[in-house]
Amino acid sequence: MKKIEDTISKEKLEHYLGLTKKARDKATPIHSGGSKESEMLAILLRMADDYTSDANYFMENGDYVRAFGAINYAHAWIDAGIKLRLLDGHGDDELFTLP
């Protein structure tokens, strides 16, 4: 028997897509351009953006399981930037795992 908590709904995906967008918009770089840290951050953010794009693609094609996995990976890349002190999470302990 399937339970509601075992279901990935469109609404749940939209919630997590929105949460990750909010995190991506809120987190700001700590280091200036041209530094080694900013180069590493560019890689992290590219991964976050690519996984977000994948999540949208999967959702649009009805593959909610892969979409859910991808959006969680995207958020994790952003969170890694916060944890590594490449991004500033501005004290938001609901969107991020703060250092």
Please state the domain extents for the chain. 32-99
Return d(Cα 14, Cα 38) in angstroms, integer: 30
Residue 4 is predicted with a pLDDT of 64
- Residue 5 pLDDT: 65
Contact 82, 99 (CB under 8 A): yes
Q: State residue 34's pLDDT score.
A: 86
Q: Which fold has domain 32-99?
A: Substrate Binding Domain Of Dnak; Chain:A; Domain 2 (1.20.1270)
Q: For 34-71, b where at least 16 C-beta lie within 10 A, e where not — what string?
A: eeebeeebeebbebbeebbebbeebbeeeebebbbbbb
Tens-digit pLDDT string for the chain (99 aa): 666 667 899 999 999 999 999 999 999 999 987 899 999 999 999 999 999 999 999 999 999 999 999 999 999 999 999 999 999 999 999 999 987
CB 17 within 8 A of CB 51: no
